[in-house]
A and B are shown apart, each in its own frame.
Chain A
């Protein structure tokens, strides 16, 4: 199935969780936040939140800014 992460298509196995995606993308577990279809997925739910085909995720971190 395909999902969209930060505007880019990613091909994943059906049943992939947010936690598995974070691992696949090589992201740290701290200092980032994830929104799934404009709703925050708290870190405590990453392991159980299963992605649906076509899901749109935003993965953000802190950058320099005023």
Chain B
């Protein structure tokens, strides 16, 4: 019996964490690593899964592929346009929510609502609102005397529209994360500042923002990892099911380019090379972002 008990206490913990590691290993980690192997092959699905080793050929092609660089540029542009205003707005909304409020829960739920709806639903609604002829947004622009914009047609306008969709969905979520962090800031800091005659704005920049430093870094890095993988929004914003991101690829992102090469052209090897390249870009940007936000937040403190 004591042998059994010992076995139970020593061995069973591994049994409990096993399902996670087995399933995650098989369907999460293995595919990611195997992507590396596939990327060194000419691997075409239409060819009954036939493949042969081509070494770095896919990567060489990628470096000279203008469509890839175009997609990468679009990704960075959309990411910047959505992330920076989004996090600033989130900070401001969190500051507003950090008052003594009536209907606190209702207001927080209202702010979070965009985030619980699906990307597909959100993008479809916004695509309609950004419509050229009968869209709500062009109508509003008309009211203030601006001409209608063909949102899908140009680079800047399509990037702006897609960034709006992304930012609309994530601002409230980030605001709640900031709010949680604000509420963990000791109250006496503010009371001491109040006694010293610091204005509300001064308190915000001198106390609130520096104390949010770890949270700001967290949201910036998470937004980067998510933002650089954007794919569903530009796919659906085109209004058709073609994954080129507009007639001139003006809003095709890198992840969408990967999807096009993999599941429309069936070039699995090439698409895998794109995946690894994108992974590398995401890693570089996440680290750069981490270092940068850490510096900025320190300077303000």
Q: Do A and B bind each other?
A: no
Footprint of A on B, CB under 8 Å? none
Give the B-binding residues of A (Cβ under 8 A): none
